[in-house]
Copies of this chain bind each other. A is one copy, B any other.
Amino acid sequence: MSVMQAMNIPPADPGLDAIFGALADPTRRAILTRLAHGPATVTELVAPFEISQPAVSRHLKVLEGAGLIERGIDEQRRPAKLRAANLAQAVEWLTQFRAFWGSSFDQLDDLLKVMKQQDVRTEDE
């Protein structure tokens, strides 16, 4: 039995690769923050940044690939909408380190239960 197995270390999760990878870019984080205030079209998202429209379109594709946004259809527009549920996966992974911040972190466990319930509801929409 390998060390990793003995220590009950979870297998590599391609979902987490995508999620953390998406969050690693400052433009994408800013886009998510913007979307937390409501859906936005590509054109609206381009405006505050000094990058081209195709660049934003590709950032959106990365975010969509990570399951962090959804795209809609509104005539010619393809509004992006936050899909925060998958951010829960990131938080969940981070909770394995809660012991390093003190036992109060256990509250996060309860929190995750709530998040997962919300997740299910989101799926149903």
Contacts and interface: CB of A to CB of B under 8 A. Distances in A.
A32 B12 CA distance: 12
A20 B24 contact: yes
B111 A110 contact: no
Contacts of A13: 26
A17 B24 contact: yes
B93 A91 contact: no
Interface string A64-87: 000000000000000000101101
Interface residues of A, number: 52
A25 to B, nearest CB: 7
A114 B105 contact: yes
23 contacts: A3-B47, A4-B34, A9-B34, A12-B30, A16-B23, A16-B26, A17-B24, A20-B20, A20-B21, A23-B24, A23-B90, A23-B93, A29-B93, A32-B97, A36-B97, A82-B100, A85-B101, A87-B100, A91-B91, A102-B118, A104-B114, A107-B110, A108-B108
